[in-house]
Amino acid sequence: MRKLVTVVVALFFLGLSHGARAGGGIPPSFNLGFALASIDINVPGNQTTVTGTFTANVTAPSTAMLTATFTNSDGFVSPIGIGPFNPNISPGVCTVAFTCTITGLDFTMPGIGFGTTTFTTTATLADGFAPVIHMASFQASTPEPGALALLSLGLVVLGIAHRKVRGRKQD
């Protein structure tokens, strides 16, 4: 009888320590989406802005904390890091199912940037145990300034031609 009690107590504590882990023993995990939302080239303001959207689908208890940082390969000013987030402290950002979505992450650069740039996020999920880290990235290509100049010149010529045609119709 004494051995039976010892085995039951040992199994009970083993079950408690196993159940204390995220999701009753399921290791926390998540996947990331990091995608291009828009590219804005403001010629009069002399600034290029690339906007991204961050989404994390998390499998962890709602008390786990998600943070993310952002970098790029070409001199854009990155948005500040985000988090910590979880459904309990950020209900407008993270759903109860622990899917967090952040839109409007602006990477800005003074001047007219051109070429292909890689934008990267590094996200960390901490639940009191070893953190889980993932990275995601997207590439954005902005046109060369010469192409913008040609486009602008073409639009100016179209505007002048339209005014001439409209002026003749009024006569």
Question: What is the pTM (predicted TM-score) of this model?
Answer: 0.68
pLDDT value of residue 155: 79
**What does DSSP say about strands 29-42 and 65-72: parallel, antiparallel, or unpaired?**
unpaired
Higher per-residue confidence, 92 vs 138: 138
pLDDT tier for residue 58 given thresholds of 50, 70 and 90: very high
Asked whether the predicted pLDDT for residue 67 surpasses 90, the reply is: yes
For each of the domains in the chain, give its residue range(s) and CATH number, in order of start. 25-162 (2.60.40)
What is the average pLDDT value for the chain, to the nearest integer?
Answer: 81
Query: Mean pLDDT, to the nearest integer, of 9-31?
Result: 53
How far apart are the C-alpha atoms of 162 and 51, rounded to whole Å? 34
Asked whether the predicted pLDDT for residue 143 surpasses 90, the reply is: no
Where residue 157 falls (left for φ over 0; alpha for ψ -120 to 50; beta otherwise) is alpha
pLDDT value of residue 14: 38
pLDDT tier for residue 112 given thresholds of 50, 70 and 90: confident
pLDDT value of residue 10: 40
CB 127 within 8 A of CB 63: yes
Q: From the centroid of its chain, how far is CA 73?
A: 16
Asked whether the predicted pLDDT for residue 118 surpasses 90, the reply is: yes
Asked whether the predicted pLDDT for residue 37 surpasses 80, the reply is: yes
